[in-house]
Amino acid sequence: MDLKAFGAFHFLHPLWLLALPALWSLAAWLSMRGRRDGGWARLVDPELLPALRLRAGGGAAHSPWPLLALIWTLAALALAGMTWQRQQSAAFRAPLDWILVLDLSPSMGAGDVSPDRATRARYVISDLLDAAQDARVALIVFAGEPHVVVPLTTDVATIRSLLPPLAPGIMPESGHQLAPALAEAGRLMQTVASRHAQIVVLTDGMDDPAESLQAAAQLRQRGATVSVIGVGTAAGAPEPAPQGGFVHDAQGRSVLTPLPVDELQHIAAMGGGRYVTVNEAGALIDGLRALHSLPSRDYEVGQRVSAWQNAGIWLLPPLLLLVPLLARRGWL
């Protein structure tokens, strides 16, 4: 046994130790009470009184109270859970990774879905986080370039806390390039050797459909599934201008940003996933949630975790051996 390990000796449930003074005091009081005749000497003949006492002949060797105090002490120590070493165990998790790709291009400020496209997309992401369970989740935003907000993690609370500020106005560059964002999702997969990634794109279109189709096909070849949630309507809405108002073309007409449904459907088909509108996102989320019912053989071992080993159980055998001794005739 490694004596150095005892340097970490402590109790897992130390509050049980507070019971020891009360138990010892009770045992002492019972012992003192057993030494007194009380009022029995006035009622019982002197010849019969010794037979009624717990301690035959007044011998201290036959007193049950030290034994009772020892049993109570061992029981309290067992409940307190003494420990001095850790035990390694494997942590299992579902082999699922969700990578959420959020479009924050200027057109996501359009108001054809209430309250606007970007806000509605954040609501859907919040619902996705609720359904994530033990999956690892990452969040990427893109406009002209992609930016990783949170890498793959099981800490969905952190992702949720970062959602409110995400709006088109925070992006350092304009543009509508989906392919680099999908490539960034592939790099996140490679970082953690992901084998079952679900990539969900929330967008209202892109300027690079050919490159995006190729990127989605490459992700599918690596075992990922690319699904697309179209945010907006086919009729479109005026694109907000950064300085206020709306963007106008050379003829002074407002620039509408209709949802390119066909292009988004092709990307989802190329990625082996589904295309749904923002109003139908619940169906996609239900499908992702169903992936958590994988057979146990499909679960993989995550990082190993350590926990303090409760050594209080080793006090149970002595307790089981000592308790029957209290059943001695004349003690109970």
Categorize the per-residue pLDDT at 45 as very low, low, confident or very high, splitting at 50, 70 and 90: low
User: What does the DSSP assignment read for 76-139?
Assistant: HHHHHTEE--EEEEEEEE-S-EEEEEEE-SGGGG--SSSS-HHHHHHHHHHHHHHH-TT-EEEE
Q: What is the pLDDT of residue 90?
A: 63
Categorize the per-residue pLDDT at 43 as very low, low, confident or very high, splitting at 50, 70 and 90: low
- What's the whole-number mean pLDDT along residues 57-74? 72
93's tokens: 């998790």
CA 276 and chain centroid, separation: 28
How many other CB atoms are there within 10 angstroms of residue 59's CB atom?
8
Provide CB contacts within 8 A for 238, sequence distance 6+: 110, 246, 247, 254, 255, 256, 257
Task: Could you list the beta-strand ranges (E) of 188-329.
Answer: 197-203, 225-230, 272-277, 300-308
User: Left (φ > 0), alpha (ψ -120 to 50) or beta: where does 193 sit?
Assistant: left
The Cα–Cα gap between 148 and 106 comes to 18
Q: What is the pLDDT of residue 290?
A: 84
Q: What is the pLDDT of residue 35?
A: 59
Closest CA to 98 of 288, 279, 283, 275: 288
CA 13 and chain centroid, separation: 24
The Cα–Cα gap between 84 and 73 comes to 19
The Cα–Cα gap between 196 and 49 comes to 82
- Backbone CA torsion sign across 272, 278, 280, 285: positive
Amino acid at 115: P
Dmax (CA) of the chain: 124
Q: What is the pLDDT of residue 60?
A: 44
Closest CA to 11 of 2, 3, 19, 22: 19
Q: Which strands make up the sheet holding 272-277, listed edge to edge?
A: 146-153, 136-142, 97-103, 197-203, 225-230, 272-277
Task: Tell me what the pLDDT averaged over the chain comes to.
Answer: 83
List, in sequence order, every residue forming a beta bridge with 201; answer none if it has no partner: 101, 228
At the topology level of CATH, where does 92-295 sit?
Rossmann fold (3.40.50)
Categorize the per-residue pLDDT at 162 as very low, low, confident or very high, splitting at 50, 70 and 90: very high
Tell me the CB-side half-sphere exposure of residue 259, using CA atoms within 13 A: 25
Nearest-5° angle of CA 146, CA 148, CA 149?
Answer: 125
List, in sequence order, every residue forming a beta bridge with 200; answer none if it has no partner: 100, 227
Q: Give percent of the chain above pLDDT 70.
A: 77
Q: What is the pLDDT of residue 274?
A: 95
Least-confidence region, from 8-22, 41-55, 94-108: 41-55
Q: Is it the case that residue 59 has pLDDT exceeding 50?
A: no
Provide CB contacts within 8 A for 269, sequence distance 6+: 275
User: Left (φ > 0), alpha (ψ -120 to 50) or beta: where does 57 sit?
Assistant: left
Overall pTM surpassing 0.85 (yes/no): no
Q: Looking at per-residue confidence, does 204 or 193 come out higher?
A: 204
pLDDT in tens, 239-283: 777 666 666 666 667 778 899 999 999 999 999 999 999 999 999
3-state secondary structure of 68: helix
Q: Is the separation of the CB atoms in 184 and 161 below 8 Å?
A: no
